[in-house]
């Protein structure tokens, strides 16, 4: 099973299709509710990652009715978003610092 088969399996999953369609509709229509929900999730991604990782890796294995594999996969995806959010924030701060240095040199 190659990477292509793996990607086709992921892309063919019903949840992936639903997510893609809802993102496309949101982008085309600029639905305020969808934009607000995504903005809230993006700004709170650190808190979500903390809560999900504790739940997925500590609590879920001990509680039979919590699907451990799903919780762990979700925590890893949110962790990736958390890293990306931190990287973007760091880049924005670097740009701001560079522009402040340029302003002080020009005056």
DSSP secondary-structure letter at 63? -
Q: For residue range 67-95, what is the model confidence (pLDDT) as tens digits?
A: 889 989 988 998 888 888 887 777 666 66
Confidence check: pLDDT of 59 > 80? yes
pLDDT at 57: 92
Q: For residue range 42-56, what is the model confidence (pLDDT) as tens digits?
A: 888 888 889 999 999
Q: What distance in Å separates the CA atoms of residue 27 and residue 32, rounded to the nearest whole number?
A: 10
Strands in 1-107 per DSSP E: none
DSSP secondary-structure letter at 30? T
The pTM assigned to this predicted structure is 0.54
Q: What distance in Å separates the CA atoms of residue 9 and residue 44, rounded to the nearest whole number?
A: 30
Q: At 51, give phi and psi (nearest 5°).
A: -65, -45
Residues 6+ apart with CB under 8 A from 71: 52, 55, 56, 60
């Amino acid at each position: 099973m190659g990477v292509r088969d793996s990607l086709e399996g992921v892309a063919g999953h019903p949840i992936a299709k639903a997510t893609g369609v809802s993102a496309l509709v949101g982008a085309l229509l600029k639905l305020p509710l969808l934009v607000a929900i995504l903005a809230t999730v993006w700004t709170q991604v650190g808190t979500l990652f903390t809560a999900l990782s504790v739940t997925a890796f500590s609590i879920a294995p001990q509680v039979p009715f919590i699907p451990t594999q799903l919780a762990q996969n979700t925590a890893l995806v949110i962790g990736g978003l958390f890293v990306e959010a931190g990287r973007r924030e760091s880049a924005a701060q670097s740009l701001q610092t560079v522009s402040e240095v340029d302003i002080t040199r020009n005056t």
